[in-house]
Amino acid sequence: MRTPEIPTISLNTQSHVQQASNIILKVEERFNDRKFRQAKVQSHYCTTVMKEIGSRAIEIINAVKVAMATSPYCIVIRDIQTSVGRAYIAGISAALGEVTEPCNLESSLVIRILQPHHDRKEGTFGVLSESFHTDGTDWQNPNDLTCLLCLQADEFGGGESKVMTMDSIIHSLKQSRHQEFSYDEIRNKEFLWKLDENLGGGDFSAPFLTSDSIRWLKHNLLSVSMLNPHGETDELIQYINTIIEGNTDHLKFSMRAGDLLILNNKKLLHARTLIENPEQSCRKLLRTKVLYRGST
Ligand SMILES: [Fe+2]
């Protein structure tokens, strides 16, 4: 099976105004992450950015919606002006649903800046974003979409983006014909996941894979099983990890400044390639997590 190429759509058309308007400059300048938690503020950013995009706004949002429902469950919107990038990611994310961050700590930002030297590292697991995963595995209901806007790419070409569809993983699980772990056994099987400490901690159970969604972060599953080892499940986690990390049917691409990658976090795993020197890298992304309205 071969995953189709990622659709791309450009904001930079002849009819599009190249210069950022005063209105978008003002909302960029006045952005306040705490206030952005409020629905009315999200709605204001949505309206402002949709006006800035102009006549193609509906076409673009519809293209994103179609992409989220069709393999490879992601899309790249190109040529966003990075000087007003925060306003754009805020407005486009808000057009798709509720921009969310369930931890209500001062330090928990709704629009997070991702830089390699801050990427989460966990002992022998290394940098978590370098292995395939979905976001929000330590939330009861993970975010539906993840949006990543590249403000600056790694100057040495590191940190390429990688995505792998759940369809491709299902195909690999079916092909493997493992004696103990059949696809039918794995599908809908409940695993224990670690709940974010700031959401109460402890653990909860949820499937890794159902017929229409996937949740995966090896580190999360193994950090629960290390506290309460149960041999067969550990073997199964390692088996799934081998299938995923060994699956060559994934897409790899470079994001350039002004690219906004929007991915369906319930259908697609993502990762990035190694960054040789994270302390020196100038790679800088903005990230939002979006819940569909009415999603539980
Ligand atoms: Fe991620």
Q: Note the pLDDT tens digit of each residue in 259-283.
A: 999 999 999 999 999 888 888 899 9
How remote is the CA of residue 19 from the centroid of ligand 1, in Å? 32
- pLDDT at 188 > cutoff 90: yes
How remote is the CA of residue 146 from the centroid of ligand 1, in Å? 8
Nearest alpha-carbon partner for 266 in 220, 221, 212: 212
- pLDDT at 124 > cutoff 90: no
Higher-pLDDT residue of 120 and 199 is: 199
- Percent of the chain at pLDDT > 90 equals 76
Query: How far is it, in rounded angstroms, from Cα 293 to Cα 270?
Result: 23
> Which residues keep their CB under 5 angstroms from ion ligand 1?
135
pLDDT of residue 147: 98
CB contact at 8 A, 150 and 258: yes
What value does the CA radius of gyration of the chain take, rounded to a whole number of Å? 19
User: pLDDT confidence of 232, banded at 50, 70, 90?
Assistant: low
Record the pTM. 0.94
How remote is the CA of residue 101 from the centroid of ligand 1, in Å? 14
How remote is the CA of residue 176 from the centroid of ligand 1, in Å? 27
User: pLDDT confidence of 118, banded at 50, 70, 90?
Assistant: confident
How remote is the CA of residue 145 from the centroid of ligand 1, in Å? 11
Q: Strands (DSSP E) along 80-189, which ranges? A: 98-99, 112-114, 121-122, 126-127, 145-152, 161-165
How remote is the CA of residue 287 from the centroid of ligand 1, in Å? 9
How remote is the CA of residue 222 from the centroid of ligand 1, in Å? 17
What the chain holds in terms of domains, given with CATH numbers, is 1-296 (3.60.130.10)
How remote is the CA of residue 22 from the centroid of ligand 1, in Å? 33
Per the structure block, which two tokens stand in for 156? 């040495």
Per the structure block, which two tokens stand in for 17? 């105004």
Query: How far is it, in rounded angstroms, from Cα 97 to Cα 295?
Result: 9
Q: Note the pLDDT tens digit of each residue in 69-103.
A: 999 999 999 999 999 999 999 999 999 999 999 88
How remote is the CA of residue 15 from the centroid of ligand 1, in Å? 34
- In this structure, the number of other CB atoms found within 10 A of the CB of residue 81 comes to 19
- pLDDT at 228 > cutoff 70: no
Which residues lie below 8 Å from residue 31, measured CB to CB, with a gap of 6+?
86, 87, 90, 111
Query: How far is it, in rounded angstroms, from Cα 112 to Cα 129?
Result: 15
3-class DSSP state for residue 89? helix
Nearest alpha-carbon partner for 130 in 281, 272, 275: 272
Q: ∠ CA 164-168-173 to the nearest 5 degrees?
A: 120
How remote is the CA of residue 121 from the centroid of ligand 1, in Å? 13
